Amino acid sequence: MKRKRILGGAEPANPDQVDTTRPPKRKRNVVHEAPTSEEVYSARQLRQLLTFEQDLRKSRHGLQSFKDLLDGIYNEAGEKDEAKMEIVVQFLDMTKPRAAEAETEDEAPVYLADIMEAWSMASQMSNENVMSAVAVVLALLLKLISAHVELVPSGLGIARTILQRRQQELLAKNLSADKGKDFIISPTLRLLREVICLDGGALALPAFRARTYTLKSLARNMGLRFLGDGIEDPKRPSVRTNAVRVFLSCVKFIHVEAKRDLLSQKDLVAALMRSLRDDPPYLIFEVLNTLRSSVVLDQKLSKDVKIRLLNSQSLARIASLYTYKHQQSAEEDSQSVAQAAHDFLVAACTSPSAGIIRSQNGYYPDGLDPDVLLNAQSDGAGLLGLESVSWIDSFVDEVPVRNTLLSDFIQTLRPWSSLKQNELLVAILSACPELIANYFANKKSFSFDPKLSATWIGYSTLLFNTIRLDIPQFFGHSKKYARLPPPTAVVLGNILPLPLELKALSKCLSQKSNLVSFFAVRILVISLEKLSTALDMHRKASNASDTMWQDASRRLIDEFCRRVPSIKEVITAYRALSEDDLLQRVAASRLLVLYHDVIPQAALGAKFDFSPVLSAAIKRFESARGNGEEASLRLLELENLFTVAKYSPSMKWFARSDKSQASPFITLLSLYTDNSQGFATPNVQRILGFIAEEHELVIRLSKVTGLRPLLLALRTLPDVDPGIWTFLDNCSDRCARSPVKYQELISELVVENSKDGDGAVEDALSPLLMTMVEQLPFFVSSTTDKKSLVNMADFLSNYLGYTKAAGGSKKLLKAVLDKLSSALGDSKARKHLSILDQTTFPDEMDIDQVPQQKVMASQDDENARLSEEQLQEVLAVPITISKDNSALVKWTSKSPEELVEEGYTASVVWLLASEHPSIRKEALTSVIKIAAKIKESSYEESEQVWLLLSELIETVRHSDGATIPNSLLAFVCRALDVLKVPTHCLYPKLNTFLTRGPVWDLEKIPLVQDILQEGPTEDDAYYTELSWLFNYLLDSLRTTEDVGLFHKRKVFERLFALNSNPYMGPNLRIQTLKIIYRVSSIEGGSDTLITRFGVISWLESQKAVSGSDAGLCSTAKKCLMPTDGADIREPLAPKVSPLADVNMSAPASSSSTASPPSFEIREELIPEDTSFITAAFDSCVAHLAAVDCAGMWGTQPFSEKDGFADSVRDDMVVASERFRNSGSTGEAVEDKVRTFITEARVGSGADAGDGLDDSGLHYRVSDDGGITVRYLQVGAVVVHLDWFPHYIESQAGFAALVGKAKEARSQGAPSVYIEVMVSDFRVGHARRGVGTALMGRVREFAAEQGAKTLFVDSWSGKGGRLVRYYESLGFVAVDDFLVERKNKDPWPGKLLRMDLL
Amino acid sequence: MSGKNSVPSDFASYYLQQATKELAEDLDKVRGADDFKGDALPLLIKALQQGTALFSPADQQRIVEAGKKQTTPNADDDTSSSRSSSTGSDEEQ
């Protein structure tokens, strides 16, 4: 049992109780008298003990006993604890002032009156022991109470009592005790903190209001820090710690206004920060966390208040924590002080709402207005160019900024030696770009002189990170490019910060140390990349009126070149690298590329011959061994060198050095063809094309005679024979040496083959091909290996095939083929030589898709970015073979070869499907004659062709006059293509089919089964067979009957199933989509696909599965189903046009036969128009969301927006009627607005209903001369006379334009503004042409009003699709604008105009 | 597919490794410098790694994949296993 415990013993005590009643030992002058106490057993006893008496010693005894009791509750747990707690509860209840008392005395109730009395008396008598004891006991009591919710009312009573005036004075006296009297000050501060924090800060505000007393001497007290060695014991917090906690709890709990008052007290802020560095970690965390959550992140607190706390001194003090010297104890290691300080500073210095950052203009120094020409004669200034701008060359040594606070602060950081400070600085520079140039201009002591030290490395890290920062949009000018470019020195200071000057950089490059030169090279690389971006921005910003921006970019380049080492130094550094320095080689070679790309004037001056460098690199590449990564790096280096060599005029592309086996050109070509390491990048392709064009191997910009057919041919071959490379090497060398010779040969060939009067064909053949023709005989004579010859023949066949597919003249190619054949003589190889039928000629990008899955991934984006119109172009295949009756005559004069190979037979065959019986008859006769003619001829494949045609003839004869399905005709035509090339993979299958029987079943589609069900005849030919089949099926689809037949023969099911084959290439997939697209263009086709085959969900799944043609799938879907499923039952919708949606201006498919519905324009508006226009808006929202254009009008239906319908009624419907009638009423109308409605007549008489129908579409019924007529409401346009929307008028950029329009108006030439043009997307195809119809009326209206100009604005998001639509209507873009919106990204728009004659 | 996100970090670690190899001699010298203390090592690592910014994402992928091909001795095995896992696990039971 503890009795009469003496306080201050060695026992472990609660941190809050220990230090207080007894002063520290070193204060010897204080007479210390140990207090007495006794154990408390009941509340009554406690009350007795605390009863106020004049004898303060007794008071002290009572207080000490109470304190022991409270300590007991903290230190002991279990039953005893509860018993003690019970005593406290009873005591509080007993001493609670009675309500009656308070009322009668008209004074606030006083809790614990006895204690307060004792306190007051002690204070008067200056009995410090009791003064301290009261504070200790009250603080402990409140602390206990705040942990027990049920006691809080009593606690609030006590706290309020403490905040009464009498007690405030006592508090103040305690707080302002002498410096050494920690034992009084500390408990009082703790008491104060408990009062402020009690019940979630309920009394914080009253406590703060009484700050003259409650916060008395707070600043001084915050300065009374622990003075011993190391840091203070957390169990014995110093006065400072307690005082800081009082301050923090105020900051935490008082409201904004009070917080402003508090933070405005400079002495407090200064006292808080002054000795932060010496504070214990836990206090620092408290300070930083509270300041962050209650000041920095407090949105309500204004910036100017925050800045009072976060002033430059505070920032410096917090930054000093980066080097916090005290050790942290183990349990606190969750976060280091340095890290906490770092997080705080990053948040405070980079978040715009934190108050430190001030708005700034990026690369434009403070005080400049780049939209204003300073020169007085501003008219002439434009002509004088940049010279007239006085400040353009200033700001070299000094860059004024708005963020002076940050500018000063960052100078104090040590980014070269501390990672975190490095990060902080970069974060600040990134958030506040104006500081970049400023920082380096001020930091003169920096020098980049190379030195292999940690400081130099830290420093180069900083420079690297700084250069990597993005250039702010518009160089920091708001919303658009300014009239004048930013000062050259500032831009350069961002691209190549000052310490990077010529001397230092040159020294770095010539350093022996690889690390130093490597780092310098890397910095130069990103610097040049940034320069390139900056120059691009200059280009974008430049306008036609003057050359300011062009001048600026020239200056920039000049200045830049003056500061970077010459390319010779770079080359020297590159050459000094050892063979295994792969990263360094890649970086240095990349730098060489950038020199040529970005600052060619500096690069080309060197006149360096890259041939030896390149051949050395090729040799290294070929002989190198290493892991995959190393090989890739070598390849990258090589690619860079090839790019550089491209620029080098003295490069010998075709010369074969002794060391390497082939010329550089052929090496590059073979690397490209091989592509095992991903060398086939578009960049390499460009280089190859460039070299070939430069040396006139091929014709520039020509599809037929360009390099692509050759590249395709080489890529098609599974393996390129070494002989072919040698041959190509030889040919390219010869051709490059005397291109004229081969061009003459081509001319001769053209002349020889133009007897029929075809005329000479420009760029008929590539000189390289001609060289091959000339050289082949030598190759044949020198080659004994038959296999090589066969390979050569294969290669040439492919080459010819691709040339033909690219659109080459058949006749000339035939001539070339003849020459090549004769060169091959009678060898086996000759049989392999032909013009291969390359049905597809992939576009620029496709070339890499086929062999390499990997490249496709990067092209997905490419595809996704295509506009839908383009996608539709991909899918729409017009029915090419025309039913030209003249074919019946033409064929007679042709030779059998021509009949088969030039398609004359095919055109006659197609006439068998003519709608005129006489023509069909005639065609049949012709086919019979053709068959006979071919059979008798010496044509190689005469037998097979005759058989095919005869079976066709028999089938027609057996059909008893029924029309022959297009599928059979398409089959015959496609079969002819197979028969003329015996090596075709389908040749065997076709012959098997032909020998099956003399007559074909009209109900069957030939060969579908054979191709889809049976395996391919040749192993790798499955996909070739499929491709042939798809083309033939596509040709077959022409009429509803064809769709029916496909349906019956289950072709669609098979097609759909095929697409789930993951190995099917993108081209084949597109072919199936083309078929679907074609079906949708046939009447009833969409219905069949949607209702019978669920094509919509199929397309959905395709979209999900195949990344690359997802866009195509969704487009195809839209063609099939313009609105929703219900639409296909809508009788009025002409289903023939697949293109009606998405874009009204898209050209109709060639197969479309229905004319667009004729619209009527209604002038007179009716009340129902309000709901129609609102509904039309809603349908647009849904449609825009579906085509991924929600950025235009959001996703919320307009009908759900407050007041929208009202504004439609008032501003569009009623206002329009008012203006329309103003002529007759004579009323002066201010809003000259007109709304026109387009409607389509859809029925009359009995079936005409009114208003809405089931689908929600709007109809109007009118009485037309006794007949009821029903009109479908389709679209509306709202136009204004002499009006601009406020978001246009308020744009500074349009001020001149608006002004001009006003001027024109005063001269009697008003302008018309199209406010909005909408159509109801739910009506489906009936929308077609609505835009044109509305525009027609708008033009009329403009003419009626004498207007000369039409304006419209358009959303310019999503690549400006809508803008293009308006352009298709005849509008011309004026300029872009941005509409700022609250809490949203700005709305991008474009203003367009149309000048009327 | 899951490997796609790891390309930058895979590349960064390869880059660091390669750079350390190429610059071994100089790095030793730097470590011996007077001012090499405190944050110097993390700063040095960061400095080396910065260089990854010189490689486009496509190049990074190329290099990382070339490295992977090397480590899996038979590239065909790799693809076939991924195929079978996508066709279903029934076969494996």
3-state SS record for A1243-1281? EEHHHCCCEECCCCCEEEEEEECCEEEEEEEEEEEEEEE
Task: Report the range of poorest mean pLDDT among A121-130, A334-343, A478-487, A678-687.
Answer: A678-687
> Which among A417, A581, A633 has the least Cβ separation from residue B38?
A417
User: Which residue of chain B is at minimal alpha-carbon distance from A419?
Assistant: B43
Residue A1368 belongs to a domain with what CATH number? 3.40.630.30
Using CA coordinates, name the residue in chain B closest to A463: B47
Report the pLDDT value the prediction gives residue A625, as an integer from 0 to 100. Answer: 65
A677 neighbourhood in chain B, CB within 8 Å: 62, 66
Closest CA of chain B from A339, distance in Å:
13
Evaluate whether A1045 touches A1003 at the Cβ level (below 8 Å): yes
Look up residue A485 and give its DSSP letter. Answer: P
In this complex, the residue of A422, A525, A677 whose CB is nearest that of residue B54 is A525
Q: Which residues of B touch A460 (CB under 8 A)?
A: 47
Give which of A465, A528, A583 to mutate to test B binding, by max B Cβ within 10 Å: A583
Q: Is residue B79 part of a domain?
A: no
Q: Of the given ranges (A177-186, A497-506, A1034-1043, A1096-1105), which has the lowest mean pLDDT? A: A1096-1105
Q: B40–A458: do the CB atoms touch at under 8 Å?
A: yes
Nearest CA in chain A to B27: A515
Same domain, A887 and A1014: yes
CA angle A767, A772, A773 (to 5 degrees): 95
Residue with tokens 């916090």: A324
Is residue A788 predicted with pLDDT exceeding 80?
Answer: yes
State pLDDT tens for residues A1325-1380.
778 788 888 888 898 888 888 888 899 998 888 878 788 888 888 888 888 888 88
Q: Is B24 on the interface with A (CB under 8 A)?
A: no
pLDDT of residue A494: 92
Say how far apart CA A1393 and CA A1311 lie, in whole Å.
Answer: 10
Q: How far is A145 from chain B (nearest CA, A)?
A: 48
Q: Are the Cβ atoms of A454 and B44 closer than 8 angstroms?
A: yes
Contact A556, A602 (CB under 8 A): no
Q: Do B22 and A580 touch (CB under 8 A)?
A: yes
Average pLDDT (A181-199) is 91
Is B78 within the bounds of a domain?
Answer: no
Mutation for testing the B interface, residue in A414, A419, A578, A852 having most B CBs under 10 Å: A419
Structure tokens at A590: 């990349």
CA distance linking residue A727 with residue A338, whole number of Å: 69
Domain residue limits at B12: 2-72
Specify whether A1305 is located in the same domain as A1323.
yes
pLDDT of A810 = 79
How far from chain centre, in Å, is Cα A1194?
19
Co-location of A1136 and A1221 in the same domain: no
In 3D space, the residue among A1048, A1011, A1039, A1043 whose CA is nearest the CA of residue A1027 turns out to be A1011
| Model pLDDT for residues A615-662, shown as the tens digit of each residue | 888 888 777 666 778 888 888 888 888 888 888 777 788 887 665 567
- Model confidence at A677, pLDDT cuts 50, 70, 90, reads low
The residue in chain B having the minimum alpha-carbon distance to the alpha carbon of residue A511 is B26
Inter-residue contact A163 to A206 (CB < 8 Å): yes
pLDDT at A957 over 50: yes
Q: Which helix (H) or strand (E) holds A1159?
A: strand A1159-1162
Residue in B closest to A856 by C-alpha: B58
Rounded-to-integer distance, Cα A766 and Cα A697, Å: 7
| For range A313-339, the mean pLDDT | 79
pLDDT at A373: 62
pLDDT at A1122 > cutoff 50 = no
Mapping DSSP to helix (H, G, I), strand (E, B) and coil, where does residue A1355 land?
A: strand
**pLDDT of A506:** 92
Q: With H, G, I as helix, E, B as strand and everything else as coil, classify residue A1240.
A: strand
For residues A1004 and A965, what is the distance between their CA atoms, to the nearest angstrom?
9
Q: How far is B18 from chain A (nearest CA, A)?
A: 7
Q: Do A419 and B42 touch (CB under 8 A)?
A: yes
Cross-strand pairs, A240: none
Distances (CA, A) of B24 to A441, A587, B34: 35, 18, 18
Position with higher pLDDT, A265 vs A1021: A265
Within a domain: B48? yes
How far is Cα A64 from Cα A76, in angstroms, rounded to an integer? 18
Q: How deeply is A97 buried, as exposed, middle or buried, from its count of CB atoms within 10 A (0-12, 13-18, 19+)? A: middle
Distance to chain A for B24, nearest Cα, Å = 9
Answer yes or no: are the C-beta atoms of A570 and B6 closer than 8 Å: no
d(CA A23, CA A28): 9
Q: What is the pLDDT of residue A390?
A: 73
For the segment A25-64, what is each residue's pLDDT rounded down to a tens digit?
A: 444 444 556 778 888 888 888 888 888 888 888 888 989 9
Choice between A429 and A1291, residue whose per-residue pLDDT is larger: A429
Kindly state the average pLDDT of the residues A87-116: 76
pLDDT value at position A866?
Answer: 44
Overall domain count for chain B: 1
Tens of pLDDT, residue by residue over A1018-1037, are: 777 777 888 888 888 888 88
Task: Say yes or no: B3 contacts chain A, CB-CB below 8 A.
Answer: no
Within 8 A by CB and 6+ apart from A414, the residues are: A322, A421
Query: Do residues A431 and A468 lie in contact, with contact meaning Cβ atoms separated by under 8 Å?
Result: no
Contact check, Cβ <8 Å, A457/B27: no
Host H or E run for residue A1235: strand A1233-1244
How many residues are recorded in chain A? Answer: 1397
| A342–chain B nearest CA distance, Å | 14
B10 lies within 8 A of chain A by CB: no
| Highest mean pLDDT of the ranges A718-732, A865-879, A1258-1272 | A718-732
Choose among B29, B36, B66: nearest Cβ to A628. B66
Helix axes A1095-1105, A1051-1058, angle to 10 degrees: 20
Most confident listed range (A300-304, A861-865, A1056-1060, B83-87):
A300-304
User: Final residue of a domain: which of A796, A829, A848?
Assistant: A848
The pLDDT of residue A1190 is 80
Band (pLDDT 50/70/90 cuts) for residue A377 is very low
Alpha-carbon distance values, A1083 to A40, A858, A872, A880, A1134 (Å): 102, 38, 19, 19, 8
A521 has a pLDDT exceeding 90: yes
Q: Which residues of B are less than 8 Å from A854 in CB distance?
A: 61, 65
Q: Would B31 be classed as within a structural domain?
A: yes
pLDDT of A231: 75
Cross-chain CB nearest to B66 (options A422, A455, A677): A677
CB contact under 8 A, B70 and A417: no
Beta strand pairing call for A1311-1319 and A1267-1281: antiparallel
Q: Compare CB distances from B22 to A460, A461, A583 and report the shortest one's residue.
A: A583
pLDDT grade, residue A331 (50/70/90)? low
What interhelical angle do A43-50 and A113-125 show, nearest 10?
Answer: 30
User: A419 and B43 in contact by Cβ < 8 A?
Assistant: yes
**Which region among A781-790, A842-851, A1320-1329 has the lowest average model confidence (pLDDT)?**
A842-851
Shortest distance between the Cα of B20 and any Cα of chain A, in A, equals 10
The alpha carbon of residue A516 is apart from the nearest alpha carbon of chain B, in Å, by 9
Range of the domain at A1128: 852-879+1069-1155
Q: Least CB-CB distance to A515: which of B26, B43, B71? A: B26
Grade residue A707 by pLDDT with cuts at 50, 70 and 90: confident
Q: Give the percent of chain A with pLDDT over 70.
A: 83
DSSP string, A1096-1136: HHHHHHHHHH-STTHHHHHHHHHHH-SS-GGGGG-TTS-TT
Q: Which residues of chain B fall short of a pLDDT of 50?
A: 1-4, 72-93
Sign of the Cα torsion A1034, A1035, A1040, A1045 reads negative
CB A1062 within 8 A of CB A1023: no
pLDDT tier at A1246, thresholds 50, 70, 90 = low
Looking at the partner chain, which of B51, B61, B70 has a beta carbon nearest the beta carbon of A522? B51
Q: Which pLDDT band holds residue A585 (cuts at 50, 70, 90)? A: very high
Same domain, A1121 and A1140: yes
- Compute the nearest-CA separation of B93 from chain A (Å): 24
Q: Does B11 touch chain A (CB under 8 A)?
A: no
Residue B47: inside a domain, yes or no? yes
Indicate whether B91 belongs to any domain.
no
Both A890 and A1019 in one domain: the answer is: yes
A1113 pLDDT above the threshold of 70: no
Mean pLDDT value of segment A685-702: 80
Q: What pLDDT was estimated at residue A1370?
A: 81
Beta carbons of B59 and A636 less than 8 Å apart: yes
For residue range A400-419, list pLDDT tens digits in order. 888 888 998 999 888 888 88
Residue A339: both structure tokens together: 């890290």
**Confidence band, pLDDT 50/70/90 cuts, at residue A105:** low
B12 domain residue, yes or no: yes
Which of A512-516, A645-649, A1058-1062, A1252-1256 comes out lowest in average pLDDT?
A1252-1256
In a domain, A840, yes or no: yes
Strands, DSSP E only, in A386-483? none
Number of A to B CB contacts under 8 A, please give it.
124
Mean pLDDT over residues A143-166, rounded? 89
Closest-CA residue to A1108 (of A902, A858, A933, A1356): A858
pLDDT at position A247 is 93
d(CA A886, CA A870): 34
Residue A528: which pLDDT band, with cuts at 50, 70 and 90?
Answer: very high
Q: Is A1073 left (phi over 0), alpha (psi -120 to 50) or beta?
A: alpha
Q: What is the mean pLDDT of chain A?
A: 80
Q: What is the mean pLDDT of residues A109-130?
A: 89
Cβ–Cβ under 8 Å, residues A978 and A989: no
What span, in angstroms and rounded, lies between the C-alpha atoms of A112 and A96? 7
Interface of A with B (CB under 8 A): 417-420, 422, 452-455, 457-458, 460-461, 464-465, 468, 513-516, 518-519, 522, 525-526, 580-584, 586-587, 590, 627-629, 631-633, 636, 677-678, 681, 854, 858
Residues A1205 and A1320 in one domain: yes
**Beta pairing, strands A1311-1319 & A1349-1355:** parallel
Dig out the tokens for A44 from the structure.
Answer: 């009554």
Strands A1251-1252 and A1159-1162, by their bridges, are unpaired
Q: Do B67 and A627 touch (CB under 8 A)?
A: yes
Select the residue from B27, B50, B55, B85 to test the A interface by mutation, using most A Cβ atoms within 10 A: B50
A1133, A1127 contact by CB (below 8 A): yes
Query: Which of B33, B55, B65 minimises the CB distance to A452?
Result: B33
Closest-CA distance of chain A to residue B6, Å: 16
What are the structure tokens assigned to A1360, written together? 């400006």
Give the number of domains in chain A. 6
Q: Is the pLDDT of residue A1134 over 60?
A: no
* Whether A1370 and A1357 share a structural domain: yes
DSSP single-letter state for residue A321: G
